[in-house]
Structure 1
Amino acid sequence: MTKVTAEQLATARGCVLGLMLGDAIGATGGKVPASGTLRATSAGQLACFTIEGIIRANIRGTHKGNCHPPSVVRHAYTRWAALQGTAGIKRWKEEDWPDGWLAQVPALAARRGSAPATVSALQSQPIWGLEDSEWTSTGAHGLTRTLPAGLIEWWGPEPGRFAAEVAATTHGPEAADAAGVGATVIANIAKGQDVEKATELAQRECQSFVKVMTGLPLSPAVHSGRDRPRQAKVLAQLAPDARAASALAGAVYVALSFPNRAQLRDALSFAASVPHGKHVAAAAGAFLGAAHGVDALPVELVSRLELVWAADVLARDLLTEFVDGPSGSGYGDATDPHWWDRYPGW
């Protein structure tokens, strides 16, 4: 018997599937074809591995005690890169690696756009340790892939700080700040706040760890969403490039411009329609999916998502791991004998 509540499940599934839907719509530039599979990009693929890495980090910490969760998530990104056939990626085991069930999903081995900052960091420093490098990328992948980290607010303090630390394993301070603020917005939504209030709180709550995005960096997006909603020119001004900070500002504007659950499809198409809107759409999908729940997502589109099954399983398993602890611990037996095989915590 699970202890996961219906509300938690609706929020988590809405966040993850909303992100995946926004990612896929973003890839179309907002011009969604009438039929056919909606494919994920590298942003959606990496978001899946973020969730898997979080689960495996919690399992490792529970069973072994010694664990640095951002490093475990970074290790998840090496599995993604290995599946992609990326050169220069350290093999962590000679046999049966990449391991875990997610590495068996064929679509995650398909090349769907690049993630140059992530790949470069994994190639240049294959092991994360005392010799940590200072990365400089400001790219939006640092934000989009880490947004699901906000869902751990139910169990752990400061999910935004954790998201920033995960982003910082491959990206520079600005992108890490955006990841931290974005994940905190998700965390506040999960606690019952609407998007506007969640954003206003997140800006203040993250001031203890942000390095670049100090003050109230999302105020222009909030004010524009309130006073000048649904204007492509405004969105293009808020998100003029592919930086994580731009994608975050654009996503806040989109979410506030389309506040009703029936508007979700229009919101994502609008987000994707501007020149740098593909990451805006992914982040907006995560915000709106978390805010309205999974049932608000348009079934006719979600059912066409290439990674819908994998993403939905991950959202459910994230909750299961933190609420029910199916792999057991030193104080209790495993309730699912296969959980460790699915999410090895070595």
Structure 2
Amino acid sequence: MWSIRARTALVFALAAMALATGVVVFTNVMSLAGVGAVSSVAVEREESEGSGPTTSATEGTTAATVVSVVAVRQWRWSAVGVTGAGVLAGGLGWLVSRRMLRPIDRITATANRITASNLHERIDLGGPDDELRRLSRTVDDLLDRMETAFESQRRFVAQASHELRTPLAVQRAAVQIGLHEHAGPEELWATREELLAQNRRTEHLVESLLVLAEADRGLTDAGSAIDLRALADEVTTALAETGREHEVTLTHTARSEPPVRCVTGEPTLVRQLLTNLVGNAVEYNEPGGFVLVVTDDRGFMVENSGPAVPREIAPLLVEPFRRCPSRVGSGRHSGLGLSIVASIAQAHGWQLAIAARDDGGLRVRVDVSPL
């Protein structure tokens, strides 16, 4: 209610009323004083001349003289009053603006002082709930998001450096130990296989990092229509052989009624999202287990059997390189699968929910926005 506009309008309205009243009173007082002085001078002049009773002609001359003097004095003192009122109004406006705009200097100083090393600082402006305080809260909220993003990036860089250091250290050890001067054919072959395996792991990790960075940047265009039922069929068919290698059964169930509803998204990223979910469900499973992919009008769900996952750990698996101790895979995965899934879902504005199953494994639900 008492915004800056309201307070400024009220202050200047009251100031204008007070100054106008002062000008009117000042002008009238000074004019009356002038009239009294002129009347006194006229009376004294008549007495000094010893004239008799005032005639009508004399009275008319005196009245005309008084009116002329009053008019001149009113103009003169009105000009003086208006000038003084203008000076007072300007000074009052300067004081009011300085008082009301003082928080802007605080906001500016804080914004200039904050860098990547002190993102924890906030403006935290007090006072009435006006435009400047709402601006301060907006800037503080922006700083909260920036601090969260910076911390996430720092943690991600540290984790990525650690993950990249491991295969490089293994490759160096393989070269130093396996390729010694008297190495035989079997040792050379084993070293070659080890180097190729670590090279594939590093390559997959770098590819995952690139996909994650692309997803974090968001969508560059409006996307196109995607048939989730057809996409789920393609992904499950492509990963069927991998499922057989792990003795895991892949099944796709479509629960949406015709006509098929499409969603808007970036086809490559959406395919990567579903591939990561199904791939993880196969990788972190048990022999004789299952992977169920369900598509419906809300989106899709990927459910798999496997080792038990603590309920409090399941939602945290979207963090980069976060792994559950009970979920042991073949080592082919980079630890970024669900992080990529979360980033792609966030880029599309979709809702991602991860929950642990009572019988082991995970249930991942993605609710999408229909076209």
Instruction: Report the TM-score, using the length of structure 2 for normalisation.
Output: 0.23
Instruction: Report the TM-score, using the length of structure 1 for normalisation.
Output: 0.24
